[in-house]
Amino acid sequence: MHLQLHTTSPEETEAYGARLARVLQPRTIVGLVGDLGAGKTCFVRGLATGLGIAPDEVHSPTFTLIAEYPGGRLPLYHIDLYRLEGAAIEELGLEEYLFGAGVSAIEWFRFLPSELMPEYMLVTIAFGAGDDERVLTFSARGERYEHILRALMSSRSSEET
């Protein structure tokens, strides 16, 4: 199950992150895929907003690897795997985040071993035609995430009417 959206500004990309966050539950995995500068951290700021966490606290965790943002409706775990691979990822102990009480937003998701997560929401962010335009593609893997995607689609429909 997929949903594709086009945004025309960073604020609109953040807004879709916030909209997704409003329908998320504990133990949710959101994988983020996109080139450098595509807007992955921008989208995570939106997730933070939707969870009730101040978005200005969110920064790319490229050098810290994992940033934890408690205090919202659910805690947000912002994980960046860009500088890691293979055994280094397995040594991080990601299971406590992936299967904990919060939402795990994982940049460079393709580096995560597939056996760690049988179900997840994948958000692919691609550059659009204009400088600030982006194409967001939401893909649900697993029944639970199909329900989340349906809820996102439903919330989008109700806001447009």
pLDDT per position as a tens digit, 30-69: 999 999 999 999 999 999 999 999 999 998 877 778 999 9
Which structure tokens are listed for 89? 């990822």
pLDDT digits (tens, 9 = 90+) for 60-118: 877 778 999 998 999 999 998 886 665 566 677 788 888 889 999 999 998 887 777 88
Per-residue pLDDT band for 156 (boundaries 50, 70, 90) equals low
Please give the Cα distance from 20 to 14 (Å, whole number).
10
pTM: 0.91
Q: Exposure string (b/e) for 147-159, b if CB count within 10 Å is 16 or more?
A: ebbebbeeeeeee
Q: 7 and 68 in contact (C-beta within 8 Å)?
A: no
Q: 16 and 50 in contact (C-beta within 8 Å)?
A: no
> Which domains does the chain carry?
2-160 (3.40.50.300)
Q: Is the pLDDT of residue 161 over 80?
A: no
